[in-house]
Structure 1
Amino acid sequence: MEILVPGVQTTVQDHPGRTGLQARGFFPSGPVDGFAFRAANLLAGNDPRHAGLEITQGGFAARFRCHARAALCGAEGAAPTLGGEPVPLWQTFAVRPGDELVCEAAKGPGFRLYLAVSGGIDVPEVLGSRSVHTLAGIGGVDGRPVLRGDVLPLGRAAEAPLLRLPQSLRPAYHTHWELEVVRGPHGDPGFLTAEGWREFTSRTWRVDLNSDRLGVKLDAHALAWARPDGGVAGGHPSNVLDVSYPVGGVTVIGDVPTVLGPDGPTSGGYTVIATLAHACLWKLGQMRPGRDTVRFREISLAEADALAAHTEFALQRGRLERLEPAGPAGAAAPAAPV
């Protein structure tokens, strides 16, 4: 697959990324929106760990040099076409040598698209993953986003059937998001007052323009802290002695909350007042910087487990619909669940 237009930032990713290395300074990388990425891989007939492309904000084009199955999932409004014909999202499509896939800038809702091709993108593994870690500069193609003229090798794959993720199982994209969080590790009453926590969960926050794979930065707001300063850790009450950070942790740096993404720092000297439920991490990948807003909703650990089970239910291969081959008009008709 040859890259014709790389867009704002298109990177090779796999799921779940570079796990087990946080103690050595590496967050896992992998797709920011793991749901759309995994769905695209399933539709392309791949194992969930096969590498694909994360396309930020659309504006992407590639030319295929082989016969393959592919799928595109994620942000709306990019008007993808293959050979000039519209390509539906959340559905398998067949490609032939010379076919060009073109995506316009995604108007949204949503912010990232995920492209999977049968066999996966066959770049070398680095520390157990093909994912690009943008901060460390490893993985993917020479540790960087793809560039115009890059030719990405594809793995061998058997011809996959044409499939579709049912509409009822697709995630809803918004411009005003709700993120489910579990309180802590630095919650009230030792760090935030009860009033401060209510402020955090009741306020509508705006996604800052300076948001990326490292973290989703929010607008500044002075929360009500339970202590006057950070003691030996520093003058601001958000300061703590260096601690380990979780993926999806909401760290507060002074008056600025940031939700840590898959390429973020593994430790630091700031409070983490809440942590996103694993099942809603995908939402970080679809929140548009400078436009979207978010509110936080506290849930229990049991509720977080239930959300995770719901997500896994939607990504079971048996939930996909098998499609008949396209007819003369180019439309594919549903046949039966796989």
Structure 2
Amino acid sequence: MRRAAAGAFVVLLAAGALAACTGTPAPDGGSQRDDTIALLLPDANTARYETFDRPLFEARVAELGDYEVLYANADQDAAKQQQQAESALAAGAGVLVISAVDANAAVSIVTAANAKRVPVISYDRLIAGGDLAYYVSFDNEEVGVLQATAFVDALRDADEGSGGILMVNGSPTDSNAALFKAGAHRVIDESGLRLLAEYDTPGWNPEKAQEWVAGQILQHGDSVAGVYAANDATAGGAIAALRAANVEPLPIVTGQDAELSAIQRLLTDDQHMTVYKAIEPQAELAADVAVALLRGEEVTAPLEIEGTPATLLEPIAVTIDNIMETVVADGFWSVEDICTPAYADACAAAGIG
């Protein structure tokens, strides 16, 4: 969903068009405060959380009233996130908004919140159980389809169909990573491409992705025609391994999150594509729902996923050909952000400016 469409839904929700309540009821007094929301994000490896999700969420909450946001980042540690959630509940948070490090481990957080009648919004990653009040994310299987479709098409265009491919998937504890992987396999498995090996990257750690790809290069050498990387951080690790091994030309590499470094890699042809997810409507919708729940208002959604009211926004594939129409047009990155002196010539060649 492009920003205009997603924004329309946010406005509708914020305006009070909230019908039949589904999910955990709002706090009914007790030790919970009616002015405090906890925002618990999973890691700093993925640049989007600190750069976009947190500030956009906090800004929207501030627009809606005099509310406090208790923020914590778990640094990819499920036990640490558990402690952060417990601290937020002890401090009286009236709503928890969680992007889980581990979808299964986070069920205990939801259970603890349910016991205190504190609603839980599953943000970006769907928690595997408990009574969730809302889920807001993107169509994550479609992310994998977009990545793999661009990947397969690029390999065919480059006449690399006879080469082998590597798949650098996301974290095995991230529920979204399984969806990206499933979507990608839907396309790749039917493409006729030869899968040399695949790897689930612990914690989305780019260094681990780099280490694994380096080992695969030693094993397979020039037969690596492409690397499916599930996000831009792991793509960066894969590209670093390829560069260190002096692989020329670079194989086709995918990504996700439209990180600035990835957009610049598109310009230099180090990375073929990324996936842009309009984080502003996602973060603002989560803030709108959190405040509505804090106020005791009723909330519905256009979808229901595993019994939870949900909104899934639309991801968009980005290549060098549509940078201006996507991330720049939305204000996600500016031309000045992208076209630093080191990339000035590449920007000019691509018509960015």
TM-score by length of structure 2 reads 0.34
TM-score (norm 1): 0.35
Higher strand share: 1
Structure (1 or 2) with the greater helix fraction: 2
